[in-house]
Each structure stands twice: as structure tokens, then as C-alpha cells.
């Protein structure tokens, strides 16, 4: 069938594939998109893909494939943000550094790296000048001059205010810290280690390419949009990529590799810093959008650029990523559509849970800690799984992950995951050495319910 491309996979059922195909076609028709590429990935593996329409109207019968390059606009920011966090972990900067510490020419004192990543600096949205009218963007020197002339339109952390300008400065920050072009640093630290060879600053020759189009409201004849060179502004949106590469990227956001970024750091990026919608359906972490959809939180970003609209969102707990790339400037809701594709797979074609495996030993030091405990009348169960101590609140939903503990000294544990992460668990014994009580996050735990003061 002309104007249609489907990847052959056996990872989801045919009924699921057909339903996803229908969603993709409905979206292409509703938004009048010349060419749409949509995919769902699990753990970075493509499990469904459909290309609908024409990637390039010069070749109208050829639909987008999973390796067709589209401009991804602001999805670029996720790669920049991960690079900044990797530099933080390497001790080369702090999130609370003001930008002028690394860019002495900056005259906006106190705009921190953290504020720039989370869009809470209060700085204006775009570079000084009518860049989106002229499509002429600043070089590095002009970017810095424009930064100093820009307005701070709100107080820091007052509210979410999206700033492409701040991400231009984050690119300059990367270049200053590493003494190398920002995009070369992103490639060295992020793209190459993850094998994202179809993700690049600008387009790559030899790959199939998507055109760039605008659909006027009163005609169905597309207008070709120009290719735009963002110059020093490119950290805000200059990358191109493919549905296949973005699926790999989503797999990384779900389960990072230490070669690129520590898991704890990626989790830090996914913590909400500011809400960006009155109903809390959208929040912002460190360079990542946090989208609530169908009762789940999806992390990622959208992108909008002359001739392209895109979205890439990952449900981290299941490792599921939805991707959509559209070569039409006025296509709508890429974030909810991408998350919706992934959500459909989770609802209608869930993976089987891991098979339960019996343990082999129960550490002797943990045996006195097991079973029922109470704190302020609330019941907890402490148990062992795979030789490791864990705790659950009895009234918590079954889907709530347990707290996990790691021994750091005699009768002393630290909570490494779940409720009270980072807090200490101290074991109390009587003169005979028998365990009598515990203190977790300083709260008293005993074998029977008690009221405050009853233990005194």
C-alpha cells in the first residue's frame, strides 16, 4: 500500500498493532500531516512502528520509516540536560552555580544552572530580536550580548516560564566547561556511548529525510518550510533524529547506563520542580517534561519547529516509550499522542511479570527483624527477599514498591529505595541482646500498637 510503512515485529499482538495503526492514521488525517512516523518501544526495543503518508512530497508514495530523520526541535533539550547532569556528576559544575561563574560575560546575576534546566529562572523565552520573523539566529557572541539585553520577566521559582534562551546559555556553559563545541560534547558523552548514530546537529547525508511543511487553514496544499540554522541557539532545538533512535533514548531514560549517567542522577532529573498546568497534568523536572496521562507519569519532551512537530515520552517503571514525528508545523498534541500510544500497549498488551524465584538463605542477623511491626498504630511487615531486608506498609496498595535496606554498620541500616529513602533504620536491643524495638527515620517501631508516650 502506498503511503504506508510498517515495521515487521512480533513483540505485540496483531490486534494491538491494528489498533495502533488506526490511531496513527486517524492522527495523520485529523492533523493533515503529510508524513507521520509513530513507534512504541519497550526497553529501547521497537515493538511497533507505522509510517503514514509521505516523508517527502517530492516522493509522495514513500512513507516515513523508522530510520527517517526529522527535525526534533526541543527534544534536543533532553540531550543537553543529560550532558549538564553528567558534568555535574563529574564535579565540573554545581546545579546551584550561577551562570556567570562559568560565563563571566553574563550580566544577569544569580541565574543558576538548576533554574535554567527547570525553566524557573524568570528569564524571557526567546533571544533578543525578532528571530522567528527573520529566521536569523545569533552566533555565540550575539547570543551573549542578547542574553545581557534580555528581560527577566519573573522572579526565580515564581512559576514555570519556558525559556529557549536559557538552553542556548546551557550550550555555551557546556562548551566553556569542556573547552569543546557543545554538540561535540553531547556526542562524546551521550550519543556515541548509546549508539544514537542517527541523532545529530542538523541532518545526516545518506539517511532518508522528512520534508518540512505547513498546511494553511483554508487549503490542502502544503507550503514547504525552510531549513533553519539556529547557530548558537541550537542547544534549544537543533537536533534531528529518527523514531528508532528516540526509542533507544527512551530506553535510556527508563534504565540509564552508568557510562552516560548514574541511575540516581536520572531519577533526580525526573523529580517535579514546578507544575506547568493548573490541573497538575504537566510538571517540569531538570530538562524533562513530566506528563500525567492515563494515570501514569511519562517523562520526555515535545518539539516544534518550522515544518515539524514531535514528541517522545517514556513510562520509566515499565520501560515503555511512545514516539511521534510529524512533518507539519501545526500538528497538535504530540506529547499526549506519544504517551497515548505507549499507554495503549501497556493497557492492552502488557508484558508478563517476572517469574517468582525462591530465595536460598535468610541472613541470620535479619531473622529477629522479620514479621509484624507497628509505628503510631500503623502496621508494617518486614521481610526478606533474595537475602535483602524490605518493608511494606500493610495498608499501601499492592503496586507500591517496598522500602529496601542495606547494612552500613552493626544494627544500622540505610533505606536505599522506597518509603523513607536515605533515612536510617536503627535496631534496639535489651541487655540480653534481644531485639526490642527499631527506629526508622527516627520513628519508633514496636511489636505491638502503641500511643505516643506509651513507650516512656
How do residues 226-238 score in pLDDT, each as one tens digit?
999 999 999 999 9
pLDDT above 70 (res 359): yes
The whole-number pLDDT of residue 450 equals: 81
Contact partners, residue 314, CB within 8 Å, separation at least 6 = 250, 251, 253, 254, 298, 299, 300, 320, 321, 322, 342
**Rounded Cα distance, 273 and 261, in Å:** 20
Q: What is the average per-residue pLDDT within 302-320?
A: 97
Going by pLDDT thresholds of 50, 70 and 90, the confidence category of residue 10 is: low
Asked if residues 52 and 207 have their Cβ atoms less than 8 Å apart, the reply is: no
Q: Are both 4-348 and 364-445 of the same fold? A: no
Q: What is the layout of strands, in order, in the sheet containing 70-73?
A: 70-73, 239-241, 200-201
pLDDT, tens digit, 9 for 90 and up, residues 393-425: 999 998 899 999 999 999 999 999 999 999 999
**What per-residue confidence (pLDDT) applies to 261?**
98
User: Region 183-196: what's the mean pLDDT?
Assistant: 98
Q: pLDDT at position 60, please? A: 95
Q: Is 176 exposed, middle or buried (0-12, 13-18, 19+ CB in 10 A)?
A: middle
Distance, in Å, from the CA atom of 279 to the CA atom of 386, rounded to the nearest integer, reads 41
Task: Please state the rounded mean pLDDT for residues 85-97.
Answer: 98
Q: Choose the CATH number for 364-445 among 3.40.190.170, 3.40.605.10, 3.90.1150.10, 2.40.128.50.
A: 2.40.128.50
Tens-place pLDDT, residues 236-264: 999 999 999 999 999 999 999 999 999 99
Per-residue model confidence (pLDDT) at position 414? 98
Query: Closest by alpha carbon to 234, among 321, 314, 311, 164?
Result: 164
First-to-last alpha carbon distance for the chain, in angstroms, is 79
Residue 93 contacts residue 87 (beta carbons within 8 Å): yes
Question: How far apart are the C-alpha atoms of 327 and 310, rounded to whole Å?
Answer: 9
pLDDT surpassing 70 at residue 8: no
Q: Residue 90 above 80 pLDDT? A: yes
Q: Note the pLDDT of residue 455.
A: 62
What pLDDT, on a 0 to 100 scale, did the predictor assign at position 456?
Answer: 58
How, if at all, do strands 35-42 and 45-53 pair? Answer: antiparallel
**Residue 11 confidence (pLDDT):** 83
Give domain limits for the chain. 4-348, 364-445
Question: Which are the contacts of 185, defined by CB distance < 8 A and separation ≥ 6?
Answer: 83, 174, 175, 178
Nearest to 244 by CA among 437, 38, 77: 38
What pLDDT, in 10s, does the model give residues 22-50? Answer: 999 999 999 999 999 999 999 879 999 99
Q: How many CB atoms lie within 10 A of CB 380?
A: 21
Q: What is the mean pLDDT of residues 429-442?
A: 96
**4-348 CATH fold:** Beta-lactamase (3.40.710)
Above 60 in pLDDT, residue 1? no
**Does 451 have pLDDT greater than 80?**
no
- When pLDDT is cut at 50, 70 and 90, the band that residue 6 belongs to is confident
**218-228 pLDDT tens trace:** 999 999 999 99
Q: Answer whether residue 454 shows pLDDT above 80.
A: no
User: Do 423 and 408 form a contact (C-beta atoms < 8 A)?
Assistant: no
Amino acid at each position: 500500500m502506498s503511503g504506508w510503512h510498517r515495521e515487521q515485529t512480533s513483540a505485540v499482538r496483531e490486534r494491538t498493532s491494528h489498533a495502533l495503526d488506526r490511531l496513527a492514521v486517524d492522527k495523520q488525517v485529523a492533523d493533515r500531516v503529510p508524513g507521520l512516523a509513530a513507534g512504541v518501544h519497550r526497553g529501547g526495543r521497537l515493538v511497533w512502528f507505522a509510517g503514514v503518508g509521505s516523508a517527502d512530497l517530492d516522493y509522495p508514495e514513500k512513507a516515513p520509516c523508522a530510520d527517517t530523520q526529522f527535525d526534533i526541535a526541543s527534544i534536543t533539550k533532553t540531550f543537553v540536560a543529560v550532558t549538564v547532569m553528567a558534568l555535574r556528576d563529574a564535579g565540573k559544575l554545581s546545579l546551584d552555580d550561577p551562570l556567570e561563574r562559568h560565563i563571566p560575560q553574563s550580566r544577569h546575576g544569580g541565574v543558576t544552572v538548576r533554574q535554567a534546566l527547570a525553566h524557573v529562572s524568570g528569564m524571557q523565552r526567546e533571544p533578543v530580536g525578532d528571530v522567528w520573523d527573520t529566521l536569523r539566529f545569533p552566533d555565540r557572541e550575539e547570543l551573549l550580548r542578547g542574553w545581557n539585553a534580555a528581560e527577566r520577566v519573573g522572579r526565580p521559582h515564581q512559576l514555570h516560564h519556558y525559556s529557549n534562551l536559557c538552553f542556548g546559555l546551557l550550550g555555551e556553559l557546556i562548551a566553556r566547561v569542556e573547552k569543546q563545541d557543545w554538540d561535540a560534547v553531547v556526542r562524546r558523552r551521550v550519543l556515541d556511548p548509546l549508539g544514537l548514530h542517527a541523532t545529530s546537529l542538523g541532518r545526516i547525508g545518506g539517511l532518508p529525510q522528512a520534508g518540512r511543511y505547513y498546511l494553511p487553514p483554508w487549503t490542502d496544499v502544503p507550503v514547504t518550510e525552510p531549513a533553519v540554522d539556529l547557530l548558537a541557539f541550537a542547544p534549544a532545538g537543533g537536533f534531528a533524529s529518527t523514531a528508532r533512535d528516540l526509542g533507544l533514548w527512551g530506553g535510556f531514560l527508563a534504565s540509564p547506563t552508568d557510562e552516560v549517567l548514574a541511575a540516581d542522577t536520572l531519577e533526580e532529573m525526573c523529580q517535579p520542580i514546578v507544575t506547568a498546568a493548573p490541573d497538575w497534568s504537566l510538571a517540569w523536572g531538570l530538562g524533562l517534561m513530566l506528563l500525567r496521562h492515563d494515570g501514569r507519569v511519562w517523562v520526555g519532551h515535545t518539539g516544534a519547529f518550522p515544518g515539524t512537530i514531535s514528541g517522545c515520552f517514556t513510562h520509566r517503571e515499565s520501560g515503555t516509550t511512545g514516539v511521534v514525528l510529524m512533518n507539519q508545523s501545526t500538528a497538535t498534541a504530540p506529547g499526549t499522542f506519544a504517551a497515548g500510544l505507549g499507554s495503549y500497549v501497556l493497557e492492552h498488551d502488557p508484558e508478563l511479570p517476572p517469574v517468582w524465584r525462591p530465595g536460598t538463605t535468610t541472613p541470620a542477623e535479619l531473622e529477629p527483624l522479620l514479621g509484624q511491626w507497628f509505628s503510631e498504630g500503623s502496621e508494617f511487615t518486614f521481610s526478606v527477599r533474595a537475602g535483602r531486608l524490605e518493608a511494606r506498609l500493610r495498608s499501601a496498595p499492592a503496586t507500591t514498591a517496598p522500602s529496601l535496606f542495606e547494612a552500613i554498620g552493626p544494627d544500622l541500616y540505610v533505606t536505599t529505595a522506597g518509603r523513607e529513602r536515605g533515612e536510617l533504620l536503627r535496631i534496639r536491643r535489651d541487655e540480653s541482646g534481644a531485639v526490642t524495638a527499631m527506629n526508622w527515620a527516627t520513628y519508633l517501631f514496636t511489636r505491638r500498637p502503641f500511643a505516643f508516650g506509651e513507650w516512656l
